[in-house]
Structure 1
Amino acid sequence: MPEILVLYYSRGGSVARLARQIARGIGEVEGMSARLRSVPPVAAVTRQSAPPVPEEGAPYVESRDLVECVGLALGSPTRFGNMAAPLKHWIDGLGAEWASGTLVGKPAVVFTSTASMHGGQEATLLTMQVPLLHHGCVLLGIPYTESLLTSTRSGGTPYGASHVAGNDDDPQLSDEEAQLARALGRRLATLARKLAA
């Protein structure tokens, strides 16, 4: 069964919840499934290396995950209008995959979470798309035919799925955020299935 890689970095749990909703949407498309993976944290100074397998959550991504997937959903919390350092660090190490065209022609979407409503969600989603364009991905967003996009009072943008965690860093998605994330997963899986055929 064709798989779509749902790859993310999450600290507070919001991005991981969005990833699971996107994966759920992917699974709603006949013949498609999701492969959840995460990236390890990075630090300027390390005292010990991170375990090769995370203690909880999705396993860490491997090169073969990119090769074997027919599509990609990429998620990160927002850090000053950009993706978090662990995801950027991972992307910066994809020179061999870029040179060999591993992601060329594969559909891709992005998703994020912020503490505040205007905390840089759209800037983060747009900057996450730039390396995907360099890799030759076919980018998708959420069209306004998804009526919740015009009525949500929390996350959700035409550039990708999003969540507003608030000052308390609440990882619980609103109904609108969850539904828009699932819709994005379905959209990604539908196109990936067509392209894989």
Structure 2
Amino acid sequence: MTEILVLYYSRTGKVAQLARLVARGVEEVDGMRARLRSVPPVAPVTETTAPPEPEDGSPYATRDDLRDCAGLVLGSPTRFGNMAAPMKYFIDSTAAEWASGTLVGKPAAVFTSTNTMHGGQETTLLSMMLPLLHHGLLIVGLPYTEPAVSRTQGGGSPYGASHVGGANGDNPLSDDERTLARALGRRVADVAARLARGA
């Protein structure tokens, strides 16, 4: 089985829900499997460290996960139009992988969640793409051939899957948001499979 790394940070659980849907989409492609991993929160006090494994949810990512994956799908909630600090902190720690070209030529995509419709979804998705481009990853989005991109009344755009959680964060994922998250996983897995076959 070829694995796609679905790497995310989730504080309220919405990004984690999207990550599971992306993973489901990955596994809809023959011969592909998703590896769900998260990143630890960033402590405001530097002496505080996170436990080696989270109490719940996906295990924390390691450098081996980056080395072993055939593709990467990155997810983070929006913080002022940008990715959350824990995800940025993790990415900032990947200089050795950048220098050695660990991720060069692998397909990648991004997903996010915000509380409001105009809370910075597209800028967050675009900002997450920048370090992926520096790593030499091949960015995969959601084309308009996915009908849900045109009809969604919530999250989802050509830049990636997303969710609008509502002012109190209590909006469930809409059918279109769920559809697009799965489609994103399928697209990355399909591109990875084609690259592996040399097609």
Give the shorter-chain TM-score range: over 0.9
Q: Which residue is 2:39 aligned to? A: 39
Q: Which residue is 1:5 aligned to? A: 5
Counterpart amino acid of 1:88? K
Distance, in Å, in 1 between the alignment partners of 2:152 and 2:44 is 38
Q: Return 5+ residue gaps in structure 1 as ranges.
A: none
Shift of 1:170: 2.1
Tell me if the contact between 1:17 and 1:171 (Cα under 8 Å) persists in the aligned partners: no
Tell me if the contact between 1:12 and 1:171 (Cα under 8 Å) persists in the aligned partners: no
Distance, in Å, in 2 between the alignment partners of 1:74 and 1:183 is 14
Q: Which residue is 1:132 aligned to? A: 132
Equivalenced residue count is 197
Shift of 1:50: 1.2
Tell me if the contact between 2:43 and 2:49 (Cα under 8 Å) persists in the aligned partners: no
Distance, in Å, in 2 between the alignment partners of 1:172 and 1:104 is 36
| TM-score calculated relative to the size of structure 2 | 0.97
Tell me if the contact between 2:26 and 2:182 (Cα under 8 Å) persists in the aligned partners: yes
Distance, in Å, in 1 between the alignment partners of 2:180 and 2:67 is 27
Shift of 1:46: 4.4
Distance, in Å, in 2 between the alignment partners of 1:183 and 1:38 is 21
Q: Which residue is 2:192 aligned to? A: 192
Match runs of 1:20-169 below 5 Å: 20-46=20-46, 48-169=48-169
Tell me if the contact between 1:13 and 1:171 (Cα under 8 Å) persists in the aligned partners: no
Shift of 1:171: 6.1
| TM-score calculated relative to the size of structure 1 | 0.98
- Which structure 1 residue ranges, 4+ long, deviate > 2 Å from structure 2? none
For residues 114-135 of structure 1, what are the alpha-carbon distances to aligned partners after superposition, in whole Å with 9 as ceiling and x for unaligned?
A: 0000000000000000000000
Counterpart amino acid of 2:76? S
Q: Return 5+ residue gaps in structure 2 as ranges.
A: none
